[in-house]
Amino acid sequence: MSRELEFERPVLELERQIEELRRLAAGRDQLAATVADEGRLKKKKKADGTSMMQLESQILRLEEQALTLKGQIFSRLSRWQIVQVARHPQRPYTLDYLQSAFADFVELHGDRNFGDDPAIVCGLAKLKGESVMVIGHQKGRTTAENLRRNFGMPRPEGYRKALRAMRVAERFGLPIVTLIDTPGAYPGIGAEERGQAQAIAECLEGMAALKVPVVSVVIGEGGSGGALAIGVANRVLMLEFSIYSVISPEGCASILFKDASHAERAADALKLTAPDLTALGVVDQVIKEPLGGAHRDHPLAARRLQEALHTELSELVKMKPTELVDDRYRRFRALGAVTEGAVRELDPPEAQKGGSTKRRPASGKTKGART
Amino acid sequence: MSWFKRMASPKVKGDEKASVPTGVWKRCDGCGAVSVAELVKQALETCPQCGYHFRIGGRDRLRTFLDPDSIYEVGARLEPLDPLEFKDQKRYLDRVRAAQKSAEEPEAFILATGRLKGRPIVAGTFEFRFMGGSMGSVVGEKVTMAFELGLEQKAPVVLFSASGGARMQEGILSLMQMAKTSAAISRFRESGHPFVSVLTDPTTGGVAASFALLGDIIVAEPGALVGFAGPRVIEQTIRQTLPAGFQRSEFLLDHGVIDMIVGRRDLRDRIALLFDHLS
Ligand SMILES: [Zn+2]
């Protein structure tokens, strides 16, 4: 295990013990076999047999304990702990899912303008036999890979490539799947020079108009505008221990709590977990992770992602192109929490006295809180 | 008279070393010249000496941009809720009340219909003094309404941006306003009428990265700071000092991000001309 999370440690400790016992058992097995071959001391063999059974029952007991402990720990993770899981370096990334939940992946490169951004991966793939366009942020696991992928922080080229790929999908009637996992769009000189804000904005508008089904899944870190840029979907899903936020807890803490060390409090205040966002209407479905988090069982996480995507897409492909656009508009149009206040005291007195008041109520489209 | 007559009192920060009496005189941040505040105001909050653009209040902005007595405010009573029950050092709704008092506005965005040289248009502006013009649900709602109104009334839309970005205290719902407003523009495009986005100092973060940079025509006031990331964040990330003029309007024009730079006193003429061509 390359990186252990503090709260995972008791479980990992148990698992180490189990492994040791298993090794011991395997050793005894071998020894017993050798001894038997040589046809020596029937009595010793029997004694070994007894302790083997004890060993096995001990392993079973520890395994049960580990399972219970994992269940206990992961059922009451704090928001800050979930942030740690979401950022775990062993967590499956876009390319991992492309190998496991999808088949026949063909990567597409470049924004046809300036370059190819390895922080966003785009390409055609099959989901349970059907072709789709997959677009996802890509972090690296090694230092070298992270330098190449820029820690999953895209530059404008990445967003322009993503939008280009979406339009290819639209042209050929393919559904689009986006996998969100980024600390945020990259804040650098070159990125600004090449219009980072504009590139993100174009993605948002472009996605809103797509005439094919779009499903987005937050698979790890949903960091602000750089995440949302590929998240204007008909359905937004979230893995159980992923996060999605307007700002990182650290960033929020340094601005509002005047100290980045208050990130834990900021994580609570921001309400950035899957259940939080479901309650706020931002997320449609939470995908259950393997016990102990997706990083503990990549194949199971991939199977669940595949199932969830397949279920959502099977419904969406029944909709007509214009219905898909309208559906997406309604979905995002409804997000927000506003109230129509009374005429305020700070309204100038002239306005309240009527007569020449040139005020009219807000249009009927105004929504209340969706929650 | 209309409620719109109300003007923000020019606020000069109590600067000890400057010893400029508040209210009567105004010191220019550009050239340092001290001018009569009333003259600065008549020049639409620009320096009579060097043309430096001070920030202008939202109401003054609309009052001076649109034709006199043509203005109807829309959505004036919209106020934020506190869906996250957000609390940092203060509770969010307490911050809102304090901002309402100090900025003398219910929220950070003012939306209106009115006329520009006789042509009916939809116009909206940020009020930067309200929590740094941050975009939460109310701002997102009003911006969305601007495009829906434009579509419904077949009118062009002009929006003036001045914002530090998304409002943290409404969390993910603030972020979602970026998608909501951008989706509204996508629909508005079918109206056949233009959206002119005017970038003023400063326009950064989630506002820049959504509707503000989606104008059919993008205009910036001189010297406005516009970008995705704020200069401090960039400096912290790359650990170098940024070149002078980085992310200012002139830099953006050089890099092809905006169509033109127009001084505040020429905005009415130039945008009316644009509409003349396009609408
Ligand atoms: Zn000056």
Peptide bond before B202: cis, by omega within 30 degrees of 0? yes
Instruction: Compute the nearest-CA separation of A318 from chain B (Å).
Output: 22
Model pLDDT, residue A30: 72
From ligand 1's centre to the CA of A253, what distance in Å? 37
Distance A139 CA to ligand 1 centre (A): 48
Q: What local confidence, expressed as pLDDT, does residue B19 receive? A: 56
The complex's ipTM works out to 0.92
Question: Which B-chain residues 19-58 have CB contacts (< 8 A) with chain A?
Answer: none
Query: Using a CB cutoff of 8 Å and minimum separation of 24, what contacts does B235-242 make?
Result: B237/A186, B237/A187, B237/A188, B238/A188, B238/A189, B242/A189
Q: What is the pTM of this model?
A: 0.90
Which of B 55-114 lie inside 8 A of A, CB atoms?
71-84, 86-89, 100-101, 104-106
Write out the two tokens for B49: 């000496």
What pLDDT is recorded for position A49? 61
Gap between the Cα atoms of B111 and B177, Å rounded: 16
Ligand 1 centre from B49 Cα, in Å?
5
In this prediction, residue A348 carries a pLDDT of 41
What's residue A356's pLDDT?
34
| DSSP code of residue A141 | S
Answer positive or negative: Cα dihedral of A245, A251, A257, A260.
positive
**In chain A, % of residues over pLDDT 70:** 86
B176/A266 touch (CB, cutoff 8 Å), yes or no: no
In which residue are the tokens 């209040």 written? Answer: B57
* CB-based contact A236:A218 (threshold 8 Å): yes
The CATH architecture assigned to A84-333 reads Alpha-Beta Complex (3.90)
Distance, CA of B98 to CA of B94 (rounded, Å): 6
Q: Is residue B168 less than 8 Å (CB to CB) from chain A?
A: yes
pLDDT value at residue A354: 35
List CB contacts of B142: < 8 A, sequence separation 6 or more. Answer: B74, B75, B78, B107, B109, B110, B111, B124
Cα dist. A216→A235, A239, A252, A354 in Å?
A: 6, 11, 25, 50
pLDDT given for residue B12 in this prediction: 38
* Domain layout of chain A by residue ranges: 6-76, 84-333
* Cβ pair B139, B173 in contact under 8 A: no
Query: B20: which 2 tokens?
Result: 């400029």
Question: Which residues does chain B have with pLDDT short of 70?
Answer: 1-22
pLDDT at A209 over 70: yes
Beta strands A338-340; B78-80: pairing state:
antiparallel
- Is the confidence at residue A111, as pLDDT, over 90? yes
Domains in chain B (CATH in brackets) are 8-54 (no CATH), 56-278 (3.90.226.10)
User: B20 CB contacts (<8 Å, ≥6 apart)?
Assistant: B12, B26, B27, B34
β-strand A103-108 against A285-287: which pairing, if any?
unpaired
Chain A: give the shortest CA distance to residue B121, in Å: 16
**Ligand 1: distance of its center to the CA of B40 in Å?**
10
**Chain B contact set for A185 (CB, 8 A):** 209, 228-229
> What is the average pLDDT across A311-335?
98
User: Tens of pLDDT along A227-286?
Assistant: 999 999 999 999 999 999 999 999 999 998 888 789 999 999 999 999 999 999 999 999
Amino acid at A338: V
List alpha helices for A38-127, DSSP H. Answer: 42-75, 79-86, 94-100
Residues A44-56 have pLDDT tens digits of: 555 556 677 888 8
B223: left (phi over 0), alpha (psi -120 to 50) or beta: left
Mean pLDDT across chain A: 89
In the structure, what pLDDT confidence band is assigned to residue A366 with cuts at 50, 70 and 90? very low
Question: Any idea what DSSP says for residue B135?
Answer: B
Q: Name the residue among A192, A208, A337 with its Cβ closest to that of B182.
A: A208
Flag whether pLDDT at A371 surpasses 70.
Answer: no
- Chain A environment of B79 (Cβ under 8 Å): 338-341
